[in-house]
Amino acid sequence: LLAHGADINAIGNDGTALDIAINRNNSAAADLLRHHGGRRANELR
């Protein structure tokens, strides 16, 4: 999805993809998202 231009910082009911990765203790996903510019919802509001 990232390679095809998905909005990495889209905010849903559970926050951004980075919020979800952190909340689920998925450090590999969180690192990948951060590397591609992922931010937490509270940083975007």
Structural domain range at position 6? 2-44
d(CA 31, CA 37): 10
| Total number of domains in the chain | 1
Q: What is the pLDDT of residues 1-45, one digit of tens each?
A: 899 999 999 999 999 999 999 999 999 999 999 999 999 999 998
So what's the pLDDT on residue 6?
95
pLDDT value at residue 24: 99
SS (HEC) of 1-45 = CHHHCCCCCCCECCECHHHHHHHCCCHHHHHHHHHCCCCCHHHHC
pLDDT at 18: 99
Helix (H, G, I), strand (E, B) or coil at 12: strand
Q: Name the nearest CA neighbour of 8 among 41, 28, 37.
A: 37
